[in-house]
Structure 1
Amino acid sequence: MIQFCIIFLFQLFCLTGATESGIVGGKTAKPHSRPYMVSLQVQGHHRCGGILIRNDFVLTSAHCKTEQDLTVVLGAHNIKKQEKSQQRIPVEKYHQHPKYKGQFLYDIMLLKLKTNATLNKYVKTVGLPKKNGKIPANIKCYAAGWGQTGPNKPGSDVLKEVMVKLQFDQECSHKWQNYFSSDQMMCVHSDKRKEGICQGDSGGPLLCRKMPQGISAYTKASGCDDTKYPHVFMKINFFSQWIKNVMQG
């Protein structure tokens, strides 16, 4: 019975925590300093983050797809304002990974835009890591997004960013057990108390050495600022060939 309860609690944390994740603590990003950042919106409300990897493709989390159509918002800093720098483009096609089953594995998606983004100083694409590239543990990375600033707090109007450190896979395996895959996922933690990702901005990037290495996946739902639980990102280079195939196809 004890073992069952532990498994059930981890399932509860993951299933609710994987819906959306954003930034706790950290600081406000310099306006338009991350021109590849994307706000995915439903009827004008922010749902998830993402990154522009080609002028017609956005990379995000598979669980960000809803029954309602998503709108890709580019060139934004304050998503509550109608900034002249913003571009709003409908999604033409949703490419969820074919092995994604609505849980944690293969939680990645490509969005084909209906029209090409206009690239300028506010809107730029970002490169992706090499297929077999490795990032060592304890390296400093940054997560960014418009998500909640803490449990039961509203999302941020302006883009925020926070510094985190890549952890050894064993830390996430110990806490998240079978829900963590070292092949597909990255484990991160903040040096400071109560900083990291939270509900409100899944699909946002983890940037290490100025390169997006991960896509925000899940954290503990009942306390995203609980320092005992590391945050989890999907490992972009694991999906490099699939991404390439979809964009070529």
Structure 2
Amino acid sequence: AVDLHLRLAGPTLDAPFGHDALGRDVLARLGHGALHTFGTATAVGAAALLTGLAAGLLPRLSTGAIEVANTLPPVIAGLLVAAALGPSTAGAAIAVAATAWAPLAAHTAALVREEHGSGHVQASRMLGASPTRILRTHVLPGVLPLVTRHAVLRLPGIALAIASLGFVGLGAQPPTPEWGLLLAEAMPYVERAPWAALAPATALALLGAFAVTTATAIRTRRTRQNPATAT
């Protein structure tokens, strides 16, 4: 709650991270922001997973789009979406989703190629199984678990991208307690009240470290599984 009497007040037992420029408890807003940031990231991750699966199952039609999306930074996508729709949480989600599906699509396409080249699929094809049956009984069971795990591991990176757009003003708008926006709001007062910026900055730093760790884990696992398709 806004309490101007506590404006930029320092840390206390009741408010370990102090108060912001409007007297709001920084820790409470950080907690609410975690739900907002990761809730949005989960929705974006689910959309990216579905899009990536659909595109990966149709590699001939989606190869060009995958390459374009892989090279498009979320900030550029955020600028384009903000120009069309205005800065908002939904706009940030759309911008990140526009690029987040591409690695999942590439992974799906690689797994589909592996499945189609496997002995059991070739045997089913020789026995007269239809493409639909092969897809349902062989390809999807081999692809879905791995790509879903990949999507889950990408959630920290998606959350960080959403927070980054919020920090530069292309995402959530006040009074939404989104982590990137919390840090942006605290920056003008960083010399007078560094604690107001410390909490969101630390949270984003930890999130960034987690995102790098999971991205490294993804590359390592895919390299071990199939060096030829690792990206």
Alignment TM-score, normalising by the size of structure 1: 0.28
Higher relative CO (Cα under 8 Å, sequence separation at least 6) belongs to 1
Alignment TM-score, normalising by the size of structure 2: 0.30
Structure with greater Cα Rg: 2
Higher fraction of helix: 2
Higher fraction of strand: 1
